[in-house]
Chain A
Amino acid sequence: MKKGKVVLGVFLGIVVAVGLYFVNQYWIAPATTSAAKASGEFPQAPAFSLTSLSGDKVNLQDYRGKVVLLDFWATWCGPCRIEIPGFVELQKKYGSQGFAIIGVSMDDGPAPVRRFYQDFHMNYPVAMGTDQLGELYGGILGLPTSFLIGRDGRIYAKHVGLTDDSVFESEIKELLAASPSHEVTDFRPAGYTASGNIQVSTPAEVNSVIPGVDVAKLNPAQVKEFENVLAQEKCTCGCGFTVLKCRQVDPSCQVSLEAARTAYTNFLKTHGG
């Protein structure tokens, strides 16, 4: 009987400990992320120009001063489809207040996207995406992936996977209230943000011989030398390649990207860059 009470006590202890872990991780943690970040912590959204399904140009630059929800999605993606009606409502509700949505379809071709656009009465521009655009935004590994861009052109939130529209609405309202000339350093994400540290790339980085690292500061001999440095370092993402090979084979790999960028910073220090 006494042994049974001990076992029950241990079990309850484990339950409480696990419960406290999750409470700390997911209820308390967002409060800590709401603490003001250092200026420049939120990256500028990479510029792009696409053509919408209706033939209009979609330049992110033209949206400066607005809060933009950039949604990478596909018609074959169930979680993406269920988000769309909520986006249509958000566009209706906040469009007049300086909010805009840009849909980027990762479908192979526009035909199913056009049908979907009609069927779901989409009220914001949708353009066909490219791998390069995905790489500019840090690599799109899963869909839907949505970026919330502030009036100042910075990315404040990145949501990977199905996200409740109340999360978007709360974040949109917060960003609409902000000034276009100031970074919202105390931005409070309303929901789980997949990446606390949002990675983006410049076109020079995407088109570089080492994808993700702009080696323009190096001469050809130094580029070779830097490639050798990356060819000596094993990538820890599980690919079994070196960092160099992983960068070349899979530019969307965040692990090799971070390793290559760190190595580049160190390389510049020792080579007077």
Chain B
Amino acid sequence: MPGPIWGGKDLIMRPLAASLLVLLAASAVRAGGPPAVVSARIVLAAKDVHPGTTVRITVAARIDSGYHINDRKPSLDYLIPTKVVFDDSPSLKVERVSYPRGKLTKFVFLDSPISVYEGEIRLTALLKVSPSLKPGAYPLRGKFEYQACNDHACLPPTSVPLAAVVRVVAPPASLPPAHSAVFREK
């Protein structure tokens, strides 16, 4: 039989981690299941867009402290990858979604480090606006799929909805940049 997993400090950390899970589970905003430990939103690089153009977008996600989610390309084949998907739309197409590099982290339940996301992460993509799109406000919807764990337990796979409004304006109008701080950072 394998030796004990919990050493001296785990006598304290183990109940704390389990309590954290229970507390988070009890306090997080619920929607039919596990606690939501990730929040995510879409940020557009411009307030308005012209038909037929391409605009940069970012998906900014925040993972609750103490939790991690798997890399887009998980280190182990049984881990569920993090993924962003956008609803099919003939007029608004999201292409070239780029995921950040995960952080190699060692966990008590694995022999070697695995690549995970923790804290705040940003994914980038390109939004292609159809040339035939008339001026107006159009919804851009998707979801951020993830499966989270802490040091001692895992939550079921789930997703958070993503939504933004894309304002399409006629070509003579200027296109002021938006959220420049987000897009200036690498």
Residue positions of A touching B, CB distance < 8 A: 22, 25-27, 74-82, 85-86, 89-90, 93, 106, 112, 141-144, 160-162, 164-166, 191-192, 194-195, 237-241, 246, 249-250, 252-255
Central interface residue in A80, A161, A246, by most chain B CB within 10 Å: A161
B29, A240: Cβ atoms closer than 8 Å: yes
- Verify A194–B18 contact, CB threshold 8 A: yes
Cα–Cα distance between A93 and B1 once the two chains are bound (Å): 10
Chain B residues closer than 8 Å to A86, beta-carbon distance: 1-2
Q: Is B15 an interface residue (CB 8 A)?
A: yes
Identify the 3 closest CB pairs spanning chains A and B, nearest first. A161-B153, A161-B152, A142-B153
Instruction: Give the CA-CA distance A106 to B79 in the complex, in Å.
Output: 14
Chain B 23-36 interface mask (CB, 8 Å, partner A; 1/0): 00111111111110
> Are B11 and A26 in contact, CB atoms less than 8 angstroms apart?
yes
Are A143 and B15 within 8 A (Cβ)? Answer: no
Q: Counting CB contacts under 8 A, is B21 at the interface?
A: yes
Taking a contact as CB atoms under 8 Å apart, the answer to whether B4 and A141 are in contact is no
B138 at the interface (CB under 8 A from A): no
User: Which B residues from 119 to 176 make CB contacts under 8 A with A?
Assistant: 147, 149-157
DSSP majority for the B interface? Answer: loop
Nearest to A80 among chain B residues (CB) is B154
23 A-B residue pairings within 8 Å (CB atoms): A22-B12, A26-B12, A26-B15, A27-B11, A76-B79, A76-B157, A77-B149, A77-B154, A79-B109, A80-B154, A86-B1, A86-B2, A106-B156, A142-B21, A142-B25, A161-B14, A162-B5, A162-B108, A192-B18, A237-B27, A238-B29, A252-B34, A255-B26
CA distance in complex: A250, B14 (Å): 27
Contact A76 B153 (CB under 8 A): no
- If A76-B147, A78-B154 touch, does A161 touch B33 (CB 8 Å cutoff)? no
**In the complex, B22 has a CB within 8 A of chain A:** yes
- Give the residue among B6, B29, B33 with the most A Cβ atoms within 10 A: B33
Check B153–A144 contact: CB distance below 8 A.
yes
Q: For A253, list chain B residues within 8 Å (CB).
A: 26, 30
Q: Which residues of B contact A255 (CB under 8 A)?
A: 26
Which residues on the B side are within 8 Å of A246 (C-beta)?
30
Known: A238-B27, A250-B30, A253-B26. 20 other contacts (CB 8 A): A78-B107, A78-B110, A82-B5, A141-B21, A141-B25, A141-B35, A141-B155, A142-B34, A142-B153, A144-B153, A160-B22, A160-B153, A161-B14, A161-B18, A162-B14, A192-B18, A194-B22, A195-B22, A238-B29, A254-B26
Q: How far is the CA of A86 from the CA of B5 in the complex (A)?
A: 11
| Residue among B18, B31, B153 having the largest count of chain A Cβ atoms under 10 Å | B153
Question: Considering only CB atoms, which chain A residue lies closest to B7 in the complex?
Answer: A164
Contact check, B33 vs A160: say whether CB atoms are below 8 A apart.
no
Give CA–CA (A164, B7) in the complex, Å.
10
Contact of B31 among A26, A74, A93, A249 (CB under 8 A): A249
Contact (Cβ within 8 A) B1 A79: no
Determine how close the nearest CB of chain B comes to the CB of A116; give it in whole angstroms.
8
Chain A residues near B26 (CB-CB < 8 A): 237-238, 253-255
B145 to chain A, nearest CB (A): 13
> B91-121: contact bitstring with A at CB < 8 Å (1 yes, 0 no)?
0000000000000000111100000000000
Q: Which of B1, B5, B34, B108 contacts A141 (CB 8 A)?
A: B34
